[in-house]
Amino acid sequence: MRNIYYSRKFYTIVLYIFIFSFIGYAASAGDYTASLNAGKTSKSSKTKVKNWSVGLSIRPFYDNNILRYSDKYIDRFLNREDEGRFQINRLDDLVMDYTLDVSYSKNIIKKHKSIFSASVDYTSYSYNPVKSWASFEFALRQAVAKNTSFRVSYSHIPKYYINHFRDDDWIAIYGYTPITFQPYDYAKNDLSFWVQQNLFSSTRARLYFSYMQYRLNDHFIEYDSDNFLFGIGVFHSLTKKIKVNASYRYVRSNAKGYDEAGETLETSDDVDATYDEHVFSAGIDYQLPKIFKLKTSLGLNAQYSRRLYTTNHFGENDPLHAGRYDDYFRVNADYSVDILSNISITAFLNWNTRDCQTSFPPNEEYVSDEKDYSQYQVGLTFNYIFKF
């Protein structure tokens, strides 16, 4: 992928983050000094339990390929081809992600802790506002025994923009004209659950389940789907400073496959995007030596997934899905510094790529040109947690 643009705005955002960090550091230091002075006059007073927690995360980053275009569509965008397809101003962007999380903890079931939480996340694109989106989540984490706990959550994305594609139904009326390019976006509902068991003092395991509902806009309802995820993850502390994890997840996506009244999946002439996916991931977190008495850590995570499209359509009728299989690779690296117990800054690099192939030889070049991509993101995350 090509390196497209740079902007002084990114460095301005970074400067703001460091100024904000310094202000937070000074404020927290003042609170810490006050607590020491208070401790001198009331050493025997009982420590107040803090049930509430408010977390704020600000994450500025650079994304070199926001819509995950293949080289084919990068060239077409730069050459101003395909009028109506490209609803963005540039291929890359400077992005600001904001997350606010509020949680409340209390021992409701005997001595077992309950944690209720709600969060909102907003991702803003500086030069391509069509890509900006928001999400909401509500969750409960509950301990049910000394070594057993679970978490259940519901999240919602009102609208997430993918791209502009041609609407086949409009092509039949207007032909291959710019108006037949219509937005491909969806709303998502996600109900997730995991249960965790501490196997040993240094090892714990989780079982995962999720039901994810994707609903497309009126132009692409044949892509509506109900997705089911099942998985298992293991977390292990090799030493006090080194932690490792590994997981496997299986996803079954059942696509609607039709868009007209009276049609069924079997009688439809629309595409069928049903697939099975196998996802493998592994990671390591290493607590590094302190720098100027500040805690530092390094994290590295890798993920590989294979997606297999299972449609019974012939390659001539559904060239984008018949016999197609995708290989995804993702690598995430981060370096964190704890400024104080409630303030941290993390530098991160994310790299994603997708290689698409098909068992139907005449469609190999088409599938690759349409769906292959490479993308990286680099930036900072500023975290602040306030407890009361």
Q: What is the pLDDT of residues 136-152, one digit of tens each?
A: 999 999 999 989 999 99
The better pLDDT of the pair 118, 108 is held by: 118
Domain tally, the chain:
1
Three-class secondary structure of residue 209 per DSSP: strand
Span 191-195, average pLDDT: 98
Please determine, for residue 254, whether its predicted confidence score (pLDDT) is greater than 50. yes
Average pLDDT in the chain: 89
Residue 3 lies in a domain: no
Least confident of 105-114, 177-186, 209-218: 105-114
Residue 202 lies in a domain: yes
Which range among 311-315, 337-341, 344-348 has the greatest average pLDDT? 344-348
- The confidence score (pLDDT) of residue 40 equals 46
**pLDDT one-digit tens code per residue, 37-78:** 444 444 444 567 889 999 999 999 999 999 999 999 999 999
Residue 44 lies in a domain: no
pLDDT tens-digit series, residues 213-243: 999 999 999 999 999 999 999 999 999 999 9
CATH code at 226? 2.40.160.40
pLDDT score recorded for residue 46: 58
Residue 58 lies in a domain: yes
What's the rounded Cα separation, in Å, for the pair 165 and 219?
A: 10
Cα–Cα distance measured from residue 212 to residue 256, given in angstroms and rounded to the nearest whole number: 14
> If you count them, how many residues does the chain have?
388
Does 81 fall in a domain? yes
Given a cut of 90, whether residue 20 has pLDDT beyond it is no
Q: Is residue 45 part of a domain?
A: no
CA distances from 158 to 49, 57, 139, 165, 214 (A): 37, 21, 18, 20, 10
Is residue 1 in some structural domain? no
Is the separation of the CB atoms in 310 and 302 below 8 Å? no
pLDDT tens digits along 319-328 = 999 999 999 9
pLDDT digits (tens, 9 = 90+) for 275-298: 999 999 999 999 999 999 999 999
Q: Tell me how far CA of residue 314 lies from CA of 289, 306, 361, in angstroms.
A: 58, 21, 12
Give the model's pLDDT for residue 53: 96
| Band of pLDDT at residue 169, cut at 50, 70 and 90 | confident
Which domain, by its residues, includes 248?
A: 8-39+50-387
Residue 250 domain-assigned? yes
- At residue 260 the predicted structure's pLDDT band, cuts being 50, 70 and 90, is confident
Q: Region 346-351: what's the mean pLDDT?
A: 98
- What pLDDT, on a 0 to 100 scale, did the predictor assign at position 47? 65
Encoding tokens for residue 97? 């992600």
Grouping H, G, I as helix, E, B as strand and the rest as coil, residue 97 is strand
Site of tokens 């995991």: 194
Q: Is the pLDDT of residue 31 over 70?
A: no
